[in-house]
Protein backbone atom coordinates (compact mmCIF):
# COMPACT_ATOMS: atom_id res chain seq x y z
CA UNK A 1 0.00 0.00 0.00
CA UNK A 2 1.27 3.47 -0.94
CA UNK A 3 0.31 6.91 0.33
CA UNK A 4 -0.07 9.72 -2.19
CA UNK A 5 -0.36 13.47 -1.71
CA UNK A 6 -2.32 15.47 -4.28
CA UNK A 7 -1.96 19.25 -4.46
CA UNK A 8 -4.39 22.01 -5.42
CA UNK A 9 -2.76 25.27 -6.51
CA UNK A 10 -3.70 28.74 -7.73
CA UNK A 11 -0.86 29.15 -10.18
CA UNK A 12 -0.15 32.60 -11.63
CA UNK A 13 2.43 34.11 -13.98
CA UNK A 14 4.92 34.49 -11.10
CA UNK A 15 7.01 31.38 -11.71
CA UNK A 16 9.37 31.86 -8.78
CA UNK A 17 6.48 32.12 -6.34
CA UNK A 18 4.83 29.07 -7.91
CA UNK A 19 8.10 27.15 -7.59
CA UNK A 20 8.40 28.08 -3.91
CA UNK A 21 4.81 26.94 -3.34
CA UNK A 22 5.47 23.62 -5.05
CA UNK A 23 8.58 22.97 -2.98
CA UNK A 24 6.71 23.86 0.22
CA UNK A 25 4.02 21.29 -0.59
CA UNK A 26 6.66 18.71 -1.50
CA UNK A 27 8.29 19.18 1.89
CA UNK A 28 4.91 18.98 3.63
CA UNK A 29 4.02 15.75 1.81
CA UNK A 30 7.38 14.22 2.70
CA UNK A 31 6.86 15.18 6.36
CA UNK A 32 3.54 13.29 6.24
CA UNK A 33 5.36 10.21 4.90
CA UNK A 34 3.71 10.32 1.51
CA UNK A 35 5.33 8.14 -1.14
CA UNK A 36 4.45 10.53 -3.97
CA UNK A 37 3.27 14.11 -4.36
CA UNK A 38 1.35 15.13 -7.50
CA UNK A 39 0.88 18.65 -8.87
CA UNK A 40 -1.72 20.12 -11.26
CA UNK A 41 -1.45 20.92 -14.95
CA UNK A 42 0.77 23.95 -15.73
CA UNK A 43 1.61 24.19 -12.03
CA UNK A 44 4.56 26.54 -12.51
CA UNK A 45 3.03 29.02 -14.96
CA UNK A 46 -0.59 29.71 -15.89
CA UNK A 47 -2.44 32.75 -17.14
CA UNK A 48 -1.32 34.53 -20.32
CA UNK A 49 -0.44 32.09 -23.08
CA UNK A 50 1.76 34.57 -24.96
CA UNK A 51 4.43 33.93 -22.31
CA UNK A 52 4.24 30.13 -22.35
CA UNK A 53 6.75 29.55 -25.14
CA UNK A 54 9.46 31.69 -23.58
CA UNK A 55 9.06 29.67 -20.38
CA UNK A 56 9.34 26.30 -22.13
CA UNK A 57 12.32 24.13 -21.18
CA UNK A 58 13.87 20.91 -22.35
CA UNK A 59 12.97 17.66 -20.59
CA UNK A 60 15.24 16.70 -18.96
CA UNK A 61 16.62 20.14 -18.27
CA UNK A 62 17.44 22.55 -15.41
CA UNK A 63 13.85 22.87 -14.18
CA UNK A 64 13.25 19.13 -14.07
CA UNK A 65 16.63 18.66 -12.41
CA UNK A 66 15.46 20.92 -9.55
CA UNK A 67 12.62 18.50 -8.84
CA UNK A 68 14.88 15.48 -9.30
CA UNK A 69 17.16 16.93 -6.63
CA UNK A 70 14.21 17.65 -4.34
CA UNK A 71 12.89 14.10 -4.76
CA UNK A 72 16.32 12.68 -3.94
CA UNK A 73 16.77 15.02 -0.96
CA UNK A 74 13.39 14.21 0.61
CA UNK A 75 13.01 10.61 -0.52
CA UNK A 76 9.64 11.24 -2.19
CA UNK A 77 8.40 10.65 -5.71
CA UNK A 78 7.07 13.68 -7.62
CA UNK A 79 4.61 14.02 -10.47
CA UNK A 80 5.24 17.34 -12.17
CA UNK A 81 1.61 17.60 -13.31
CA UNK A 82 2.66 19.42 -16.43
CA UNK A 83 5.16 21.97 -17.65
CA UNK A 84 5.84 23.53 -21.03
CA UNK A 85 8.41 21.40 -22.83
CA UNK A 86 10.50 23.03 -25.54
CA UNK A 87 10.40 21.42 -28.97
CA UNK A 88 13.84 21.95 -30.57
CA UNK A 89 12.60 21.50 -34.14
CA UNK A 90 9.51 23.71 -33.65
CA UNK A 91 10.17 26.89 -31.62
CA UNK A 92 6.62 28.14 -32.31
CA UNK A 93 5.04 25.47 -30.10
CA UNK A 94 5.69 23.49 -26.91
CA UNK A 95 4.45 20.22 -25.49
CA UNK A 96 2.26 20.15 -22.37
CA UNK A 97 4.26 17.51 -20.54
CA UNK A 98 3.97 15.52 -17.30
CA UNK A 99 7.20 14.29 -15.73
CA UNK A 100 7.16 11.39 -13.26
CA UNK A 101 10.16 11.22 -10.92
CA UNK A 102 10.87 8.46 -8.40
CA UNK A 103 12.20 8.92 -4.87
CA UNK A 104 15.75 8.32 -6.09
CA UNK A 105 15.45 11.34 -8.34
CA UNK A 106 15.25 9.34 -11.58
CA UNK A 107 12.79 10.20 -14.33
CA UNK A 108 10.44 7.22 -14.49
CA UNK A 109 8.57 8.53 -17.50
CA UNK A 110 7.04 11.49 -19.34
CA UNK A 111 3.69 12.08 -20.99
CA UNK A 112 2.81 14.72 -23.58
CA UNK A 113 -0.84 15.76 -23.52
CA UNK A 114 -2.65 14.20 -26.47
CA UNK A 115 -6.03 15.95 -26.53
CA UNK A 116 -5.88 19.75 -26.69
CA UNK A 117 -8.63 22.01 -25.38
CA UNK A 118 -9.81 24.41 -28.10
CA UNK A 119 -13.00 26.35 -27.41
CA UNK A 120 -14.20 29.66 -28.83
CA UNK A 121 -17.51 30.75 -27.32
CA UNK A 122 -19.10 34.07 -26.43
CA UNK A 123 -17.85 34.14 -22.85
CA UNK A 124 -14.72 32.01 -23.04
CA UNK A 125 -11.96 31.47 -25.57
CA UNK A 126 -9.17 28.98 -24.94
CA UNK A 127 -7.20 27.74 -27.93
CA UNK A 128 -4.54 25.47 -26.49
CA UNK A 129 -3.37 24.42 -29.94
CA UNK A 130 -2.17 27.97 -30.63
CA UNK A 131 0.96 27.25 -28.60
CA UNK A 132 0.81 23.53 -27.74
CA UNK A 133 1.72 20.57 -29.93
CA UNK A 134 -0.26 17.38 -29.36
CA UNK A 135 1.51 14.30 -28.02
CA UNK A 136 1.14 10.97 -29.80
CA UNK A 137 1.82 8.24 -27.21
CA UNK A 138 -0.04 6.93 -24.19
CA UNK A 139 2.03 6.61 -21.02
CA UNK A 140 2.07 3.91 -18.34
CA UNK A 141 5.06 3.14 -16.16
CA UNK A 142 6.23 0.75 -13.47
CA UNK A 143 6.77 2.88 -10.40
CA UNK A 144 7.39 2.48 -6.68
CA UNK A 145 3.70 3.17 -5.93
CA UNK A 146 2.51 0.63 -8.52
CA UNK A 147 1.78 0.68 -12.24
CA UNK A 148 1.01 4.32 -13.01
CA UNK A 149 -0.91 5.78 -15.96
CA UNK A 150 -0.69 9.44 -16.95
CA UNK A 151 -3.19 11.78 -18.56
CA UNK A 152 -3.78 15.55 -18.52
CA UNK A 153 -7.00 17.56 -18.14
CA UNK A 154 -9.00 17.46 -21.43
CA UNK A 155 -7.87 13.85 -21.95
CA UNK A 156 -10.56 13.06 -19.38
CA UNK A 157 -13.26 13.34 -22.05
CA UNK A 158 -11.74 10.51 -24.11
CA UNK A 159 -12.52 7.26 -22.26
CA UNK A 160 -10.62 5.01 -24.68
CA UNK A 161 -7.34 6.43 -23.34
CA UNK A 162 -8.24 5.30 -19.82
CA UNK A 163 -9.45 1.94 -21.06
CA UNK A 164 -6.08 1.38 -22.70
CA UNK A 165 -4.20 2.35 -19.54
CA UNK A 166 -6.40 0.05 -17.45
CA UNK A 167 -5.94 -2.86 -19.87
CA UNK A 168 -2.18 -2.39 -19.48
CA UNK A 169 -2.49 -2.92 -15.73
CA UNK A 170 -2.75 0.55 -14.22
CA UNK A 171 -3.33 0.73 -10.47
CA UNK A 172 -3.71 4.52 -10.56
CA UNK A 173 -4.21 7.06 -13.31
CA UNK A 174 -3.32 10.69 -12.64
CA UNK A 175 -5.34 13.54 -14.14
CA UNK A 176 -3.56 16.85 -13.43
CA UNK A 177 -5.89 19.55 -14.68
CA UNK A 178 -6.92 23.19 -15.01
CA UNK A 179 -10.64 22.68 -15.75
CA UNK A 180 -12.63 25.81 -16.48
CA UNK A 181 -15.34 26.79 -13.99
CA UNK A 182 -18.43 26.13 -16.20
CA UNK A 183 -17.25 22.71 -17.41
CA UNK A 184 -15.90 21.90 -13.98
CA UNK A 185 -19.25 22.52 -12.30
CA UNK A 186 -21.06 20.45 -14.89
CA UNK A 187 -18.73 17.53 -15.55
CA UNK A 188 -15.44 17.34 -13.60
CA UNK A 189 -16.33 15.01 -10.74
CA UNK A 190 -18.81 13.02 -12.83
CA UNK A 191 -16.19 12.24 -15.47
CA UNK A 192 -13.54 11.36 -12.89
CA UNK A 193 -15.86 8.95 -11.09
CA UNK A 194 -16.82 7.36 -14.40
CA UNK A 195 -13.18 6.80 -15.35
CA UNK A 196 -12.55 5.17 -11.94
CA UNK A 197 -15.66 2.98 -12.01
CA UNK A 198 -15.54 1.77 -15.59
CA UNK A 199 -11.81 0.97 -15.42
CA UNK A 200 -11.62 -0.16 -11.78
CA UNK A 201 -8.60 2.03 -11.04
CA UNK A 202 -7.66 4.74 -8.59
CA UNK A 203 -8.01 8.23 -10.07
CA UNK A 204 -5.90 11.03 -8.59
CA UNK A 205 -6.67 14.48 -9.94
CA UNK A 206 -4.58 17.45 -8.78
CA UNK A 207 -6.38 20.59 -9.94
CA UNK A 208 -5.90 24.28 -10.44
CA UNK A 209 -8.24 26.58 -8.51
CA UNK A 210 -9.25 30.23 -8.75
CA UNK A 211 -8.27 33.13 -10.99
CA UNK A 212 -4.93 33.02 -12.77
CA UNK A 213 -5.39 36.16 -14.88
CA UNK A 214 -8.19 38.47 -16.02
CA UNK A 215 -9.38 35.87 -18.51
CA UNK A 216 -8.51 32.52 -16.88
CA UNK A 217 -10.18 30.85 -13.89
CA UNK A 218 -10.13 27.20 -12.80
CA UNK A 219 -12.73 25.11 -10.99
CA UNK A 220 -10.69 23.25 -8.36
CA UNK A 221 -12.04 20.15 -6.57
CA UNK A 222 -8.80 18.19 -6.33
CA UNK A 223 -9.81 14.61 -5.58
CA UNK A 224 -8.74 11.01 -5.08
CA UNK A 225 -11.28 8.35 -6.11
CA UNK A 226 -11.02 4.61 -5.49
CA UNK A 227 -11.75 1.77 -7.97
CA UNK A 228 -15.34 1.46 -6.69
CA UNK A 229 -15.94 5.12 -7.49
CA UNK A 230 -15.96 6.36 -3.90
CA UNK A 231 -14.28 9.67 -3.08
CA UNK A 232 -11.34 9.00 -0.78
CA UNK A 233 -10.50 12.67 -0.26
CA UNK A 234 -11.45 15.99 -1.86
CA UNK A 235 -10.47 19.65 -1.61
CA UNK A 236 -13.13 21.74 -3.33
CA UNK A 237 -11.75 25.28 -2.95
CA UNK A 238 -8.55 27.09 -2.06
CA UNK A 239 -4.97 25.90 -2.18
CA UNK A 240 -3.99 22.83 -0.20
CA UNK A 241 -3.06 19.18 -0.16
CA UNK A 242 -5.02 15.96 0.30
CA UNK A 243 -3.88 12.39 0.99
CA UNK A 244 -5.04 8.90 0.15
CA UNK A 245 -3.81 5.31 0.06
CA UNK A 246 -3.44 3.15 -3.03
CA UNK A 247 -4.29 -0.45 -2.13
CA UNK A 248 -3.66 -3.09 -4.86
CA UNK A 249 -5.52 -5.69 -2.80
CA UNK A 250 -8.63 -3.49 -2.73
CA UNK A 251 -8.40 -2.98 -6.49
CA UNK A 252 -8.19 -6.73 -7.00
CA UNK A 253 -11.18 -7.24 -4.71
CA UNK A 254 -13.23 -4.85 -6.86
CA UNK A 255 -12.15 -6.63 -10.04
CA UNK A 256 -13.13 -9.98 -8.53
CA UNK A 257 -16.54 -8.73 -7.42
CA UNK A 258 -17.22 -7.10 -10.79
CA UNK A 259 -15.13 -9.02 -13.37
CA UNK A 260 -15.78 -6.63 -16.26
CA UNK A 261 -12.53 -7.41 -18.04
CA UNK A 262 -13.42 -11.10 -18.37
CA UNK A 263 -16.76 -10.21 -19.96
CA UNK A 264 -15.28 -8.53 -23.01
CA UNK A 265 -16.20 -10.22 -26.26
CA UNK A 266 -13.35 -11.56 -28.35
CA UNK A 267 -13.12 -10.17 -31.87
CA UNK A 268 -14.39 -6.72 -30.88
CA UNK A 269 -11.89 -3.90 -30.84
CA UNK A 270 -12.44 -2.23 -27.50
pTM of the predicted protein model: 0.96
Tell me, what CATH number does 94's domain have? 3.60.110.10
Per the omega criterion (within 30 degrees of 0), is the bond before 60 cis?
A: yes
Is residue 134 in a domain?
A: yes
Catalytic residue, chosen from 103, 113, 128, 217, is 113
User: What is the pLDDT at residue 124?
Assistant: 67
Check if 41 is active-site.
yes
Instruction: With CA atoms as reference, report the closest residue to 220 among 209, 234, 228.
Output: 209
Is residue 267 in a domain?
A: no
Catalytic residue, chosen from 41, 85, 128, 217, is 41
User: What is the pLDDT at residue 262?
Assistant: 87
Is residue 193 in a domain?
A: yes
Is residue 269 in a domain?
A: no
User: What is the pLDDT at residue 160?
Assistant: 96
Is residue 270 in a domain?
A: no
Catalytic residue, chosen from 85, 103, 153, 217, is 153
Check if 153 is active-site.
yes
How many residues would you count in the chain?
270
The upper half-sphere exposure of residue 209, i.e. CA atoms within 13 Å in the direction of its Cβ, equals 19
Number of domains in the chain: 1
User: What is the pLDDT at residue 268?
Assistant: 83
Quote the CA–CA distance of 205 and 227 in Å, as a whole number: 14
The DSSP bridge partners found for residue 86 are: 94
Check if 113 is active-site.
yes
Is residue 150 in a domain?
A: yes
Check the CA dihedral 153-157-159-160 and report its sign. negative
Is residue 217 in a domain?
A: yes
| Domain residue limits at 73 | 2-260
Is residue 67 in a domain?
A: yes
The DSSP secondary structure of 114-155, one letter per residue, reads -S--EEE-SS-EEEGGGTEEPP---EEE--TTSSEEE--GGG
The DSSP secondary structure of 34-70, one letter per residue, reads -SEEE--TTTT--S-GGGHHHH-B-SSSHHHHHHHHH
Question: pLDDT in tens for each of the 270 residues of the chain?
Answer: 999 999 999 999 999 999 999 999 999 999 999 999 999 999 999 987 778 888 899 999 999 999 999 999 999 999 999 999 999 999 999 999 999 999 999 999 999 999 998 877 666 677 898 999 999 999 999 999 999 999 999 999 999 999 999 999 999 999 999 999 999 999 999 999 999 999 999 999 999 999 998 888 999 999 999 999 999 999 999 999 999 999 999 999 999 999 988 888 888 877
Amino acid sequence: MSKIAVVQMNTTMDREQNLDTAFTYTEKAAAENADLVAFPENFLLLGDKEHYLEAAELVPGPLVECFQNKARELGISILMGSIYERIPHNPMKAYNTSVLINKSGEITGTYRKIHLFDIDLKNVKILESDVIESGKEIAIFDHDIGKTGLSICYDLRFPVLYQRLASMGALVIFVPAAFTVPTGKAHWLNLLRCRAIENQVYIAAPAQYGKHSKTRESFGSTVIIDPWGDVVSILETGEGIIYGNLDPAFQQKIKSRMPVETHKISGIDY
